[in-house]
Amino acid sequence: MSQAAVLSLDAIAFERDDNLLFSGVSVALEAGDILQVEGPNGAGKTTLLRIIATALNPTVGRLIWRGEDALRHRQTYLQNMLFLGHLPGLKQSLSPVENLQWWRRVHPDNTSLESLDVLARMGLRGYEDVPCYTLSAGQQRRAALARLLVTEAPLWVLDEPFTAIDKQGVAELEGLLVQHAERGGIVILSTHQDVGIPHIRRLQLTDMARVA
């Protein structure tokens, strides 16, 4: 691992109620890396991603962002990180535009893109103004993924981003991730699908419970 690592996980372990989910997870990521977290159900993929997103604290281990402890300099880290969790984080009675707008206000960005254009690019033209509960699961996922187009955060942490979207959508999203990496960003994602991304790095989480 080189010294130029932008984000490194340093011997991360997670234990809940005396059950060890995983331990010794170490990985160093540089600009341009795409990391796929793999493992069987229950191996802790979501937990690891939530730790990287600081939504959970690791039991042991450190998260180092540009040489600084991310948990100590949380504010700076959070400005550089975008997390899309298992749940899309959309308010059902708001429209995709309204959802994108409140999210953009909470995550200040300098992109001058219009929210409407962004949603059109995500294939939601004509659906910008209808409440989210009328949208399909795939469309809701797209509405959540629209945040990728407006964020300036270099680090993307995506939990199962391909869930519920169609083939074309998967291809577009893969293109988006590769483009982000080419511009020097970092992507960490979990998925059960085979991803058509070249040079993807993999992190295998084994099911500790089954090994023991």
- In the complex, the residues that contact another protein under the rule CB under 8 A are 16-18, 53-57, 75, 78-79, 81, 83, 85-94, 98, 102-103, 105-108, 131
Q: Is 22 helix (H, G, I), strand (E, B) or coil?
A: strand
Distance CA 162, CA 142 (A): 10
The dihedral through the CA atoms of 76, 68, 50, 196 has a sign that is positive
User: What letter would DSSP give residue 94?
Assistant: S
User: What letter would DSSP give residue 109?
Assistant: -
Which residues are paired to 25 by β-bridges?
A: 12
Q: How far is the CB of 56 from another protein (least distance, A)?
A: 6
**β-strand 7-16 against 19-29: which pairing, if any?**
antiparallel
Distance CA 133, CA 140 (A): 8
Residues in CB range of 79: below 8 A, 6 or more apart = 153
Nearer to another protein, 154 or 178 (CB): 154
Dihedrals phi, psi of 53, to nearest 5 degrees: -85, 0
Residues in CB range of 13: below 8 A, 6 or more apart = 20, 22, 23, 24, 25, 58, 59, 60, 61
Q: How far is the CB of 118 from another protein (least distance, A)?
A: 17
Nearer to another protein, 56 or 200 (CB): 56
Q: How far is the CB of 51 from another protein (least distance, A)?
A: 10
Distance CA 38, CA 36 (A): 6
Nearer to another protein, 67 or 108 (CB): 108
Nearer to another protein, 90 or 186 (CB): 90
Nearer to another protein, 35 or 90 (CB): 90
Q: How far is the CB of 3 from another protein (least distance, A)?
A: 27
Nearer to another protein, 150 or 178 (CB): 150
Q: How far is the CB of 138 from another protein (least distance, A)?
A: 16
Structure tokens of 102? Answer: 């409140």
Q: How far is the CB of 15 from another protein (least distance, A)?
A: 9
